[in-house]
Amino acid sequence: MNENEVHDVVTIGAGPTALTAAIYTTREDIETLLLDKGAIGGLAAITDWVDNYPGFPEGIAGLELADRLQKQAERFGAKIDFAEVSSLAKKGNVIELDTTDGKIVAKAVLIATGSDYKRLGIPGEDEYYARGVHFCATCDGAFYRDRKLVVVGGGNSAAQEAVFLTRYATHIDMLVRGPKMRASDVLQKEVTKHSDKITVHYNTSTDKILGKDSKVVAVEGTENAKKKVTFETDGVFIFIGLKPNTTFLAGSGVELDEIGLVKTDEELHTNVAGIFCAGDVRSGATMQIASAAGEGATAALNIRKYLEELERNNP
């Protein structure tokens, strides 16, 4: 890396949000560098099938969608490098990023690192990811019409998503690790209203996900710390929280919410001038690929406006 080079825009992350933003910025001749520590495309790239992205009536493989977004961004001149950002700081009118590939300087930065779903860390969870193990009911619930499901978790997300899944599933076994749900009273009442389809199992751990012929067939657990139980199922939805990818922001001054997501204003600007945020790592995001792409476009337009103002004020 040339430490003396000042990029117009650097995006941290190269998922649908950053790739869409890059399509917009580079088409307007705003030089854009995307940094990612892993696979291009983010969680979309490791999603087996995307059935709700506009413009694909038959659905599209997640990897193919990510590949198309990458090719489109690169066609307009976006550059992608593999590097992990360890910290960043505002220095005058630029932002300095410390990365595994050296120091990088930019006039504007888009944080688009996404969030990872917290995992149970049990056998079968990784093996059957997107092939029976899911973390998003809105994304994948429709695949389980007239099927049996297991929902793991007892918080607000688990309760809300279990109720949502009743529109598809014939029956849902909800596994709650503790003696009661942590969800709000309102959501617990919603779960109770659907007792014809949802059976809540308290004090039940989730120990193992079983499969056959590349499909999930059952979940093994332990009830009251002693009794082994098995739940036959066609799919498992795990809702035990989110893990925002924001540890690199420690000491940056960028404001986070109570769970570590990045706070922004309506223009997707953080509290630090020149640093924007969009997609699943933003507080208030809807955690959908389509909305993540839309936020990328919105961020790009606001970044352009910021760069124009920066140039006017610093001729």
Element (H, E) at 185: helix 185-193
Top-confidence residue, 147 or 39: 147
Final residue of a domain: which of 238, 261, 278? 238
Whether 166 and 202 map to the same domain: the answer is yes
57 confidence band (pLDDT: 50, 70, 90): very high
Whether 231 and 123 map to the same domain: the answer is yes
Whether 214 and 179 map to the same domain: the answer is yes
Whether 272 and 207 map to the same domain: the answer is no
Range of the domain at 29: 6-116+242-313
Q: Which two tokens stand for residue 226?
A: 């002693």
Q: Which residue in the block uniquely carries the two structure tokens 């413009």?
A: 55
CATH of the domain at 206: 3.50.50.60
The answer as to whether 1 is a domain residue is no
Spatial separation of the C-alpha atoms in residues 242 and 239, rounded to whole Å: 8
What is the arithmetic mean of pLDDT over 92-100?
A: 96
Query: Residue 298 pLDDT > 60, yes or no?
Result: yes
Question: What does the pLDDT read at residue 3?
Answer: 61
Whether 208 and 156 map to the same domain: the answer is yes
Domain count, the chain: 2
The total of other beta-carbon atoms located within 10 Å of residue 196's CB is 8
Whether 287 and 152 map to the same domain: the answer is no
Whether 18 and 74 map to the same domain: the answer is yes
Question: What does the pLDDT read at residue 247?
Answer: 95
Spatial separation of the C-alpha atoms in residues 7 and 20, rounded to whole Å: 18
Whether 33 and 174 map to the same domain: the answer is no
Final residue of a domain: which of 176, 206, 238? 238
Spatial separation of the C-alpha atoms in residues 48 and 34, rounded to whole Å: 24
Spatial separation of the C-alpha atoms in residues 241 and 94, rounded to whole Å: 34
Query: Residue 315 pLDDT > 80, yes or no?
Result: no
Residue range 217-274, pLDDT digits in tens: 999 999 999 999 999 999 999 999 888 999 999 999 999 999 899 999 999 999 999 9
Whether 151 and 183 map to the same domain: the answer is yes
Spatial separation of the C-alpha atoms in residues 83 and 36, rounded to whole Å: 6
Final residue of a domain: which of 212, 238, 264? 238
Whether 110 and 123 map to the same domain: the answer is no
Question: What does the pLDDT read at residue 1?
Answer: 53
Window from 142-151, 165-174, 279-288 with minimum mean pLDDT: 279-288
Among 117, 83, 97, 100, smallest CA distance to 244 is for 117
The answer as to whether 191 is a domain residue is yes
Question: What does the pLDDT read at residue 49?
Answer: 80
The answer as to whether 31 is a domain residue is yes
Whether 19 and 68 map to the same domain: the answer is yes
What is the arithmetic mean of pLDDT over 175-192?
A: 95
Burial string for 132-142 (b: 16+ CB within 10 Å, else e) reads bbbbbbebbbe
Query: Residue 188 pLDDT > 60, yes or no?
Result: yes
CA 186 to chain centre: 26
Residue range 125-153, pLDDT digits in tens: 999 998 999 998 888 899 999 999 999 99
Whether 139 and 225 map to the same domain: the answer is yes
Question: What does the pLDDT read at residue 2?
Answer: 57
